[in-house]
Amino acid sequence: MKKKIAIIGSGFSSLSAASYLAKENFEVHVFEKNSTLGGRARQLKKNGFTFDMGPSWYWMPDVFESFYNDFGKTTSDLYELERLDPGYQVVFGKNESIPIGDSLEKIYAVFEKEETGSRKKLERFMSSAKENYDIAIKDLVHRPGISPLELVTPVTIRKINYFLSNIKKDVQKEFKSPKLRQILQFPVLFLGAKPSNTPSFYNFMNWADFGLGTWHPKNGMYSIVEGMVSIAESLGVKFHTDAIVEKIQVDDQGKAQGIEVNGEFISADVVLSGADYHHTETLLDQNYRAYSEAYWDKKVFAPSSLLFYVGLDKKVEQVFHHNLFFDVDFDLHAQAIYDTPKWPEDPLFYANFPSVSDPSMAPDGKEACFLLIPIAPGIEDTPELRSRYFDLVMARLEKLTGQELTKHIEFTESFCVNDFVEDYNSYKGNAYGLANTLLQTAFMRPKLISKKVTGLFFTGQLTVPGPGVPPALISGKLVAELIAK
Ligand SMILES: Cc1cc2nc3c(=O)[nH]c(=O)nc-3n(C[C@H](O)[C@H](O)[C@H](O)COP(=O)(O)OP(=O)(O)OC[C@H]3O[C@@H](n4cnc5c(N)ncnc54)[C@H](O)[C@@H]3O)c2cc1C
């Protein structure tokens, strides 16, 4: 008899774990509360427009490739992948933007033009970033975060200074131009914390950015979900959508017995949750929860987001696939997210126009536009606030790109804190989990194995290695290895 595994949620970490476990000959069932698979990487299709509702940056193609290789596949078996050029642009004002090209040579040239002498400094910075990438992605992130000793290797001992300083300090020490400083601090925002609170070691994200590039899977990020689901199904994984897990049943000996789904008990030898960790623990009786409310409240969470999906009836000028609008004070916005949580007065924002490089994302002659403003988790979310910020961001977009857009809106949909809570059971409506600060790295993150319930495991962006799609793939693999053991 095969052992049966019930997986809660169908985000990337769950999809990854499901395939590894099925490959190990377990009977795997995935229960997803929503009607579609893929967790936060849902897709919105409307009037011929296609939007990725969550992740839109495809970074670290090597991590995806290695996942597919584990199942005898390669990326191109699943979707067409294109490296974007430029990968993105950072807009600092009207007619004032810096494109990040698709080669180090192009990026070095752009830096040198902005600040004389910065080419050499960037070359040095990238060499350290690459070295750290190799240490992190080829080794450290594959450790399950069980013991502090996992981080102690001859290489990390040599690198101890990289854990004692932070990204902001390092960048400011080397580069004078405020623009270049912002560009180099941008990648760590994916880790969920301020650059001043992110250890220097994470400069490996700069290698992911400049060295490995920004890619786009044809038809959008949802192609990854479809690819991963097809692999899982080919291995026998059974998916159950509209399946709300309401309880994790534990027997008197503290062993997980199964789950209650839409009022029905489903037995399982092992329960694995890829849903938000805090929410999963609320599915347990109080005495089986490993972390208190006070614990969660003290943690640094990645931001929530105010998101807009806008269908425009014309093509947009002056924009690329990915555009960062950093024309306002970065530090003030960061304070409003992390220090004194409130709506930012002058938000920086990100605008994604996938149809610029992928015509399948919008009807001919039209543009799909996705806007994201990072905000503090848990803050007030009302229709009035959403509408105020929409007007504000559209006005900035029109001004900075020098064209009328509001008149060309076919429709707008929004998504914010309340939706993150309602749709994903996300703690305080966080968008992408628990930040990677020094004290929330590796063994200091919530554990993959429940400390209180035998046969209960966790995966996903609140555990190791952390937020983002590539880490979710790795998290699923790590937990599958622990379960198989
Ligand atoms: C707006 C946004 C932009 C992002 N941008 C990027 C990006 O550009 N690049 C990148 O790499 N990463 C990005 N991320 C982060 C990335 O999307 C996430 O880190 C990753 O998708 C998380 O996967 P996961 O498996 O941890 O969990 P999730 O995707 O959160 O999946 C958990 C699933 O569990 C389900 N669930 C919850 N409770 C229950 C229950 N009781 N019963 C059944 N099911 C339940 C939820 O519905 C959900 O489907 C972004 C995230 C967001 C939200």
Integer CA distances (angstroms), 91 to 147, 213, 317, 349, in order:
43, 19, 14, 10
Enumerate domains of the chain plus CATH numbers.
4-41+219-298+434-484 (3.50.50.60), 104-211 (1.10.405)
The pLDDT of residue 93 is 97
Which protein residue's CA is at the shortest distance from atom 26 of ligand 1?
460
**Dist. CA 53 → ligand 1 center (Å):** 10
Q: Is the pLDDT of residue 438 over 90?
A: no
Q: Which two tokens stand for residue 20?
A: 């590894």
- The 10s digit of each residue's pLDDT in 332-376 is 999 999 999 999 999 999 999 999 999 999 999 999 999 999 999
Confidence of residue 157 (pLDDT cuts 50, 70, 90): confident
Does the beta carbon of 446 lie inside 6 Å of ligand 1?
no
For residue 39, how far is its CA from the centre of ligand 1 (angstroms)?
Answer: 5
What average pLDDT does this structure show over 37-52? 98
Distance 61 CA to ligand 1 centre (A): 19
**Residue of the nearest CA to atom 35 in ligand 1?**
9
The stretch 116-143 carries a mean pLDDT of 94
When pLDDT is averaged across residues 376-405 and rounded to a whole number, the result is: 98
pLDDT beyond 90 at 257: yes
What is the percent of the chain with per-residue pLDDT over 70, rounded to a whole number? 100
Q: Is the CB of 312 under 6 A from ligand 1?
A: no
Predicted confidence at residue 172, as pLDDT, reads 96
Q: Is the CB of 217 under 6 A from ligand 1?
A: no
What's the confidence (pLDDT) of residue 444? 92
Q: Provide the pLDDT for residue 471.
A: 96
Confidence class of residue 138 from pLDDT cuts 50, 70 and 90? confident
Residue 154: band (very low, low, confident or very high) from pLDDT cuts 50, 70, 90: confident
For atom 45 of ligand 1, the residue with the nearest CA is 9
DSSP 153: -
Atom of ligand 1 nearest to the CA of 469: 11
pLDDT at 86: 98
Phi-psi region of 220 (alpha: psi -120 to 50; beta: other; left: phi over 0): left
Dist CA 309 CA 371 (whole Å)? 7
Binding site membership of 299 for ligand 1 (Cβ less than 6 Å): no
* Percent share of the chain, pLDDT over 90: 92
Confidence check: pLDDT of 446 > 90: yes
CA dihedral angle for residue 67, residue 73, residue 75, residue 76, rounded to 10 degrees:
180
Ligand 1 and 461: CB distance under 6 A: yes
Give the pLDDT score at 44: 98
- pLDDT for residue 147 is more than 90: no
Work out the pLDDT band at 105, boundaries 50, 70, 90: very high
Q: Which of 223, 238, 141 is nearest to 475 (CA)?
A: 141
Asked if residue 57 has its Cβ within 6 Å of ligand 1, the reply is yes
Average pLDDT over the chain reads 96
Region 63-79 average pLDDT: 98
* Cβ of residue 214 lying under 6 Å from some atom of ligand 1: no
Whether 162 has a pLDDT exceeding 90, the answer reads no
Q: Among the atoms of ligand 1, which is closest to the Cα of residue 459?
A: 26
* Residue of 30, 282, 306, 432 with the most ligand 1 atoms within 8 Å of its CB, for mutation: 432
Residue-level pLDDT at 160: 84
Q: Which residues contact 235 (CB under 8 A, 6 or more apart)?
A: 19, 22, 23, 71
- Is the minimum distance from the CB of 10 to ligand 1 under 6 angstroms? yes
Cα 432 to middle of ligand 1, angstroms? 7
Q: What integer pLDDT is reported at residue 163 of this predicted model?
A: 85
pLDDT of residue 153: 86
Q: What is the pTM of this model?
A: 0.97
pLDDT above 90 (res 242): yes
CB atoms inside a 10 Å sphere around CB 314: 14
Ligand 1 atom with minimal separation from the 16 CA: 25
- Across residues 428-448, what is the average pLDDT? 93
Quick: pLDDT tens for 298-328.
999 999 999 999 999 999 999 999 999 999 9
